[in-house]
Amino acid sequence: MKEISCKLLVIGAGPGGYISAIRAGQLGIDTVIVEFGKPGGTCLNVGCIPSKALIHAAEEFEKVSHMAGGKSPLGIMIGAPSLDLATTIAWKDGIVSRLNSGVAGLLKKAGVKTVHGWAKFRDGKTVEVQTETGMQVVRAETVVIATGSAPVELPFLPFGGPVISSTEALALSEVPERLAVVGGGYIGLELGIAFAKLGARVTVVEALPRVLAQYDAELTRPVVKRLAELGIEVLVGAKAKGLSTKGDALLVETKDGKNAKIAADRILVTVGRKPVIEDWGLEQIDLDMAGKFIRIDDQCRTSMRGIFAIGDVTGEPMLAHRAMAQGEMVAEIVAGHKRSWDKRCIPAVCFTDPELVTAGPSPEEAKALGGEIKVGLFPFAANGRAMTKMGEDGFVRVVARADNHLVLGIQAVGQGVSELSTAFGLALEMGARLEDIAGTIHAHPTQGEGFQEAALKALGHALHI
């Protein structure tokens, strides 16, 4: 049995883990990272990156489909397009492979030793790793747990056969003729919209009264409108009950209590994600938990000295960029730097059509915090760049305190608004006021002008509406 010792051991090479290991290596810390799969974790391999590749392919296919038969207002005319999904998936896999190699190369460049295998705690300073060549023991002064999350499986719809998770959905070799999506959150709608654009007949089943319930209704209204335009049937207040005897339909209880069958070649279950805490020896170290997640403080320390936890395993928001920021911070703490977790906001993006961006509280959430607020909303229907991109649905909205105009939250829905998330996050982190945003010269013609105009609207003197 081989044994190695290090100052820092990182368990999991997802976004949080590999960033933590790279930064630690840069700071001269003797670091080992353990990963069972390929570097990059869920995000790079079966999540963020491959789903965005599929979404882009679907957008391109829909564009050319509208140009067939002279339907395009742009005057572009082509013949009816066809799709080879296997080629699309191969292209997606190529991107993932390049990024895998990139992460591996960055770890090596930073002097991090990578051990491939599954880590199990023996105690708070020691793990056993089952590798291809046998058992390896790693002893470390400090440990970072970055084991991530996995799709939630419903007991009455276990994964297998026609029932798939997002992982299998991103590896299909052909577009299902009929796709039922269980769960109307961001994962279900992102993939449901993509497959609808590729030609599938999609039905979404959501138990709550509306889809994308984590966002306010005003923000999601353009997305709901787009679902109808794409022919996606949405059943809200409905509960999935199981698979039909023949395996060709989803059994559903509708909001009026009636039983129904939804014919489906594939049933995509997207009802959330759970932390990966099983099978790595949690019982050997006895960490305090916050529900099903590992409890941490504002520096990502767990209840056990010398053990940190970052990313999805520590709870919401389950976002790759949150994990990355935590991982970098922890590496610097281990190196002796003074660091803490004090983020004013963590922007979140939903890559539906149109896209959603949130940074900070919505108007209703801001009101609940107390005090008077000002809200400025600027529609993309009045934005020249949005018009030229045929993306007039949506808006930018700014929420600020009424007394001193401090910006509390910024939201947007529209075509390509994911790229505005950086500006939104920066404004909140730097404590911008409405006057700061309104007084910043925004390039014309861009959709970013909507940000300035929303601030001007809140101040009472919008220029273009």
Report the binding-site residues for FAD. 52, 147-149, 312, 318-321
- DSSP H helices, 27-149, are 41-46, 48-67, 85-109
* Closest to 127 (Cα-Cα) out of 107, 142, 110, 113: 142
Residues 6+ apart with CB under 8 A from 17: 10, 11, 33, 35, 41, 144, 146, 310, 311, 323, 327
Q: How far apart are CA 218 and CA 413, in angstroms?
A: 10
Whether residue 85 contacts residue 173, with contact meaning beta carbons closer than 8 Å, is answered with yes
Residues serving a catalytic function are 444
Burial category of 24 from C-beta neighbours within 10 Å (exposed 0-12, middle 13-18, buried 19 and up): buried
Q: Is 81 helix (H, G, I), strand (E, B) or coil?
A: coil
Q: Is 33 helix (H, G, I), strand (E, B) or coil?
A: strand
Q: How many CA atoms lie within 13 A of 418 on its CB side?
A: 9
Indicate the angle between helix axes 186-197 and 217-229, nearest 10 degrees.
30
Residues forming beta bridges with residue 309, ordered by sequence position? 145
Q: How far apart are CA 62 and CA 213, in angstroms?
A: 27
* Closest to 266 (Cα-Cα) out of 289, 247, 293, 241: 247
Q: How many CB atoms lie within 10 A of CB 158?
A: 12
In DSSP notation, 374-415 reads EEEEEEGGG-HHHHHTT--S-EEEEEEETTT-BEEEEEEEET
* Closest to 238 (Cα-Cα) out of 251, 253, 259: 253
Q: Which two tokens stand for residue 391?
A: 């993306």
Residue type, 92: K
* Closest to 323 (Cα-Cα) out of 17, 6, 11, 1: 17
3-state secondary structure 413-427: EECCHHHHHHHHHHH
Q: Which two tokens stand for residue 224?
A: 């709901």
Tokens 């950086």 belong to 422
**Kind of pairing, strands 134-145 and 239-243?**
unpaired
DSSP 177: S
